[in-house]
Amino acid sequence: MAAKILVVEDDKIQARFTKDYLEASGYEVILAKDGKSAIKIAKTQPVDIILLDLVLPDMDGNDVSRWLKLDNDTKGVPIIMLTAKNSTLGKVDGLRAGADDYLLKPYNEVELTARIYASLRTKALQDELKEKNRNLEELLARVEILAITDPLTGLYNRRHFESIVENEFNLTARYKSPASCLMADVDHFKSVNDENGHRAGDVILKEVAGIIKNCLRRVDTVARWGGEEFVILLPRTAREDTLRTASRILAAVSSHMFPGMDKPVTISMGVATIPAPSIDSAEKFIDAADGALYTAKSRGKNRIEVV
């Protein structure tokens, strides 16, 4: 695809001559007769390089360059400043305004082509570097997500949950606000795997994870704790509201039709709420919920127990 060049030149004869020459050299050319038109074209059309006359009828070429370099959509487009003024100060002003190169008028066509080629080559290298950086950022983002995500259920993993609950515990202690931790476990899960296979067990874990997530608020956090266990953090939630949430989860799981299962799947849940005199750390917070879960399992399953 031919590179697209925006030529900003108010002299019609010079503009036509430059356009004809560049098109004969294989470039696509757009003409603009003043600075405002040039800015509008550069912002609305994909342009690969700009040949910008310093003296324009409506605004100085340096001002046009500044506008283009301040705009995120156009700041990466190379600008070659064209001028009849052969002064060091003029060149410095143009470069400070953002011009990438400087060419005196009248210019030699061969030199113009060489400068255009050099600017396009530099832009191509910069674009390639930007693309590599963008790909690297996306890769790092995916790696970060993988590092905190359980691969089966798509929930947070245990390690990430521990960091979240640590922060929430500290906030709760500081502001004296309530919070609750719930530990949930799929009942008779070993029997499910033995009778239906591990793939069926994986399906159940995925669907239980989805059910729990759908019962929670955006501010709540659910993670896979390990095996068939899930852990839930409800920030700024007192015991009564926590029990309502736990009951909703329990009912949603037991009434759900799991594929390939001829009998209901249920869960047991343990609940711990802070502030509590015996819970003075995030670790004890989770342990308290785990202890309540153990009680629920020992008392018949498919139930909720509170510390």
Q: Catalytic residue positions? A: 228
Q: Where are the beta strands (DSSP E) in 189-293?
A: 221-226, 229-235, 267-274
- Kindly tell me the burial class for residue 249, based on how many C-beta atoms sit within 10 Å of its own C-beta (0-12, 13-18, 19 or more): buried
Residue 51's closest CA among 73, 27, 70?
A: 27
Structure tokens given for 180: 């609750």
Examine residue 275 and say whether the peptide bond preceding it is cis (omega within 30 degrees of 0). Answer: yes
Left (φ > 0), alpha (ψ -120 to 50) or beta: where does 176 sit? left
- C-alpha 27/C-alpha 90 separation (Å) is 29
- C-alpha 168/C-alpha 170 separation (Å) is 5
- C-alpha 265/C-alpha 258 separation (Å) is 7
DSSP state of 156: B
Structure tokens given for 107: 């210019």
Q: Which residues pair with 239 in a beta bridge?
A: none
Q: Which helix or strand (DSSP H or E) is residue 164 part of? A: helix 158-175
Rg of the chain (C-alpha set): 33
